[in-house]
């Protein structure tokens, strides 16, 4: 996928997947069957400090990369520098870090330095639901992606926080790729889709019951193809 920054995409969060190999293999079949070239894998990394949980194992990036899925890495970590080099070496295509960490500027500078060497890398900045969008205006030149968290980071399966919708228009005005993460399903996706979000991180809606993932992915694809929802 080289359209992550330009097309509407679905980035599937694999936080709660036990057997990643068989999940990726089913997803690969669906992708080929329906010609979906806009599916990425969202890789949540948690350090037990920025968020209280710990996960995922960075080495799994290699497997995602081998399946040829775009690897969208979300570092919910106080010191992302500890993970960035390894993630890129294993095949990360996009790396998003949090505005709320110490030394955000230094971290973005470091990511941009790596991006200059590796043109296919994109850089994202994420804000928690309670963080004012204006706080990241100064960093927008250093980012390709703005990730709005629509749940508190650290856990899959939470409910979408509606007040985040208020930030979407201002984020879209920043002329970057705007992604939303947390609590997205076939209902909660409608409003952010209509407000101009272009990438949707989806975890439990798709991964909780994988018996009918093809139907659910098709449903989401139909919604995002249509600007005003269904």
The residues annotated with a catalytic role in the active site are: 44, 181
184 binds ligand DX5 (CB under 6 A): yes
72 binds Zn ion (CB under 5 A): no
202 binds ligand DX5 (CB under 6 A): yes
Containing H/E element for 221?
A: helix 213-225
Candidates 105-113, 150-158, 192-200, 222-230; binding stretch for ligand DX5 (CB under 6 A): 150-158
* Closer by beta carbon to Zn ion, 14 or else 133: 14
* Cβ burial, residue 115 (10 Å; 0-12/13-18/19+): middle
Among 31, 74, 98, 128, binds Zn ion (CB under 5 A): 74
Containing H/E element for 24?
A: helix 20-34
Candidates 54-62, 64-72, 153-161, 186-194; binding stretch for ligand DX5 (CB under 6 A): 153-161
Among 124, 154, 192, 217, binds ligand DX5 (CB under 6 A): 154
Q: How far is the CB of 44 from ligand DX5 (least distance, A)?
A: 5
128 binds Zn ion (CB under 5 A): no
Among 42, 98, 128, 167, binds ligand DX5 (CB under 6 A): 42
Tell me which residue has its CB nearest to Zn ion. Answer: 74
* Closer by beta carbon to Zn ion, 74 or else 98: 74
- The answer to whether the CB of 61 falls within 8 A of the CB of 71 is yes
17 binds ligand DX5 (CB under 6 A): no
- What is the CA angle 150-156-160, rounded to 5? 30
Rounded Cα gap, residues 228 and 230, in angstroms:
7
The contacts of residue 86 (CB under 8 Å, 6+ apart) are: 58
- DSSP alpha helices (H): ranges in 35-164? 60-66, 81-90, 104-117
Q: For the residues of 156-176, what is the DSSP string, one character each?
A: SSPPP-GGGHHHHHHHHHTTS
Q: How many CA atoms lie within 13 A of 167 on its CB side?
A: 25
Q: How far is the CB of 100 from ligand DX5 (least distance, A)?
A: 13
Q: Where along the sequence are the contacts to ligand DX5 (CB under 6 A)?
A: 13, 15, 42, 44, 74, 151, 153-158, 181-184, 201-205
């Amino acid at each position: 996928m080289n359209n992550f920054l330009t097309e509407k995409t679905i980035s599937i969060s694999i936080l709660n997947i036990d057997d990643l190999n068989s999940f990726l293999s089913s997803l690969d079949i669906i992708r080929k069957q329906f010609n979906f070239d806009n599916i990425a894998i969202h890789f949540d990394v948690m350090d037990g400090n920025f968020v209280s949980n710990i996960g995922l194992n960075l080495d799994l990036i290699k497997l995602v990369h081998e399946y040829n899925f775009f690897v969208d890495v979300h570092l919910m970590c106080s010191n992302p520098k500890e993970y960035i080099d390894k993630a890129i070496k294993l095949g990360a295509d996009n790396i998003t870090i949090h505005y709320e960490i110490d030394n955000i500027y230094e971290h973005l500078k470091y990511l941009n330095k790596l991006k200059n060497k590796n043109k296919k890398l994109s850089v994202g900045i994420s804000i928690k639901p309670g963080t004012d969008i204006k706080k990241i205006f100064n960093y927008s030149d250093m980012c390709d992606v703005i990730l709005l968290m629509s749940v508190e980071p650290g856990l899959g399966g939470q409910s979408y926080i509606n007040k985040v919708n208020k930030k979407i228009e201002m984020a879209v005005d920043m002329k970057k790729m705007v992604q939303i993460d947390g609590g997205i399903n076939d209902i909660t996706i409608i409003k952010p889709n209509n407000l101009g979000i272009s990438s949707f991180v989806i975890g439990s809606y798709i991964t909780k019951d994988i018996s009918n993932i093809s139907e659910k992915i098709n449903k989401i694809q139909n919604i995002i193809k249509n600007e005003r929802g269904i």
